[in-house]
């Protein structure tokens, strides 16, 4: 295939979409023809969740990638998710519609700096959030997601010193609910860090019956106000199965699409960031993925996620450990 200089420069295929085509049905047709599976995180735009074969949180997406028999995986999400898929399925082609879709958490933990931190604490076991690069995962004993972090931390003996990286908010939250004193890397998610306590309190005043649902990547003052703290899938489950009908949602607003789809009669109110008047909090990296980029990616099978095989061999161990523990715990 001829990889054009303009694609490489932009990090995605910039071919114009033929006029008059129905993008959604064309994407589904090409995916069928190529035996490709389209995976999407809950933080993707609704239209992408609708065309995906599977929508899930970080853990479910990794589990799905590990078990698929498709030849091609198209990851509608951010780069570390594509990398995790490639590490789990090195023989498959893993495509990500825009290489610029990075993750502020993964960026906040450069592998060399993390390696030095780990080396400085040789008696510690190392737990890394899945939102890390493959290079950082290579210095990790076990990977976690927000769905299984508590259980995986608790699977270590109480006296075992632990490092937790890179999310200081998730790490502090897990410390608070497990009574551990993990050493925390000083990273954070730029979306979850920007929620406004003042705006949350104001929304709660306007909707006193509403339950507050918060992701554990939020800062402690938000977590303190929350009725439920959990991963996107945990918040979704609570929102559609509890007896309540109004919710203030303190995570990336893409999740509202699935909440509203599963519970159309309930009211979901996105909590805004402190620096915006738009009313919801979107991850600019997640939102780089668009329907036309998915179409072009599938058609041209580019950009593909590549991970050096030596690095793959190191990074797969902590990911498989996570999947094993999760399987045993029924997560």
How many other CB atoms sit within 10 Å of the CB of residue 208?
7
Task: Give CA angle at 186 (87, 172), nearest 5°.
Answer: 95
Nearest distance from C-beta of residue 245 to ligand 13P, angstroms: 23
CA torsion through residues 76, 81, 83, 89, sign: negative
Looking at the Cβ atoms of 296 and 326, the one nearer to ligand 13P is: 326
Instruction: Classify residue 176 by burial, with Cβ atoms within 10 Å: 0-12, 13-18, 19+.
Output: middle
Which residue in 13, 37, 57, 96 binds ligand 13P (CB under 6 A)? 57
58 touches ligand 13P by CB under 6 A: yes
User: Mapping DSSP to helix (H, G, I), strand (E, B) and coil, where does residue 56 land?
Assistant: strand
**Which residue from 330, 331, 328, 316 is spatially nearest to 142, judged by alpha carbons?**
316
Concatenating the DSSP letter of every residue in 260-277 gives HHH-TTSEEEEPPBTT-S
Which residue in 44, 132, 146, 253 binds ligand 13P (CB under 6 A)? 146
Judged by CB under 6 A, the stretch of 22-30, 139-147, 239-247, 314-322 that binds ligand 13P is: 139-147
Nearest distance from C-beta of residue 145 to ligand 13P, angstroms: 4
Residue 71: half-sphere exposure toward Cβ, Cα within 13 Å: 8
Residues binding ligand 13P: what is the number (CB under 6 A)? 10
Nearest distance from C-beta of residue 63 to ligand 13P, angstroms: 12
Looking at the Cβ atoms of 68 and 147, the one nearer to ligand 13P is: 147
Nearest distance from C-beta of residue 130 to ligand 13P, angstroms: 7
Q: Which residues of 283-320 are buried (b: 16+ CB within 10 A; e: fewer)?
A: bebbbbbbbbbbbbbbebbbbbbebeeebbebbbbbbe
326 touches ligand 13P by CB under 6 A: no
How many other CB atoms sit within 10 Å of the CB of residue 21?
11
Which residue in 84, 145, 296, 326 binds ligand 13P (CB under 6 A)? 145
Looking at the Cβ atoms of 31 and 149, the one nearer to ligand 13P is: 149
Judged by CB under 6 A, the stretch of 143-151, 158-166, 202-210, 307-315 that binds ligand 13P is: 143-151
Which residue in 44, 108, 131, 290 binds ligand 13P (CB under 6 A)? 131
CA torsion through residues 10, 13, 304, 94, sign: positive
Which residue in 232, 281, 290, 326 binds ligand 13P (CB under 6 A)? 232
133 touches ligand 13P by CB under 6 A: no
219 touches ligand 13P by CB under 6 A: no
- Cβ proximity of 318 and 143 under 8 Å: yes
**Where along the sequence are the contacts to ligand 13P (CB under 6 A)?**
41, 57-58, 131, 145-147, 217, 231-232
């Amino acid at each position: 295939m001829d990889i054009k200089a303009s694609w490489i420069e932009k990090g995605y295929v910039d071919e114009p979409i033929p006029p008059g085509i129905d993008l959604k049905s064309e994407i589904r047709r090409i995916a069928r023809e190529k035996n490709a599976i389209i995976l999407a995180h809950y933080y993707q735009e609704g239209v992408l969740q609708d065309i995906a074969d599977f929508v899930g949180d970080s853990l479910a997406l990794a589990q799905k990638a590990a078990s698929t028999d498709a030849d091609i995986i198209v990851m509608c999400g951010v780069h570390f998710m594509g990398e995790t898929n490639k590490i789990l399925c090195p023989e498959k082609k893993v495509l990500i519609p825009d290489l610029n879709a990075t993750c502020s958490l993964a960026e906040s933990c450069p592998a060399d700096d993390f390696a030095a931190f780990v080396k400085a604490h040789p008696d510690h076991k190392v737990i890394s959030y899945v939102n890390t690069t493959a290079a950082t995962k290579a210095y990790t004993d076990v990977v976690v997601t927000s769905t299984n972090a508590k259980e995986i931390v608790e699977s270590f003996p109480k006296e075992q010193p632990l490092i937790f990286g890179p999310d200081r908010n998730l790490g502090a939250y897990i410390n608070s609910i497990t009574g551990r004193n993990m050493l925390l890397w000083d990273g954070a998610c730029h979306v979850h860090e920007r929620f406004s306590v003042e705006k949350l309190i104001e929304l709660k005043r306007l909707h006193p019956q509403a339950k507050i649902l918060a992701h554990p990547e939020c800062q402690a003052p938000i977590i303190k106000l929350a009725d439920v703290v959990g991963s996107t899938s945990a918040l979704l489950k609570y929102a559609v199965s509890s007896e309540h009908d109004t919710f203030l949602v303190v995570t990336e607003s893409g999740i509202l699409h699935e909440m509203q789809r599963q519970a159309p009669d309930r009211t979901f109110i996105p909590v805004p960031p402190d620096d915006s008047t738009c009313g919801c909090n979107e991850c600019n990296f997640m939102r780089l993925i668009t329907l036309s980029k998915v179409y072009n990616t599938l058609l041209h099978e580019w950009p593909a996620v590549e991970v050096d095989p030596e690095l793959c061999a190191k990074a797969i161990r902590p990911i498989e450990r996570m999947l094993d523990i999760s399987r045993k715990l029924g997560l």
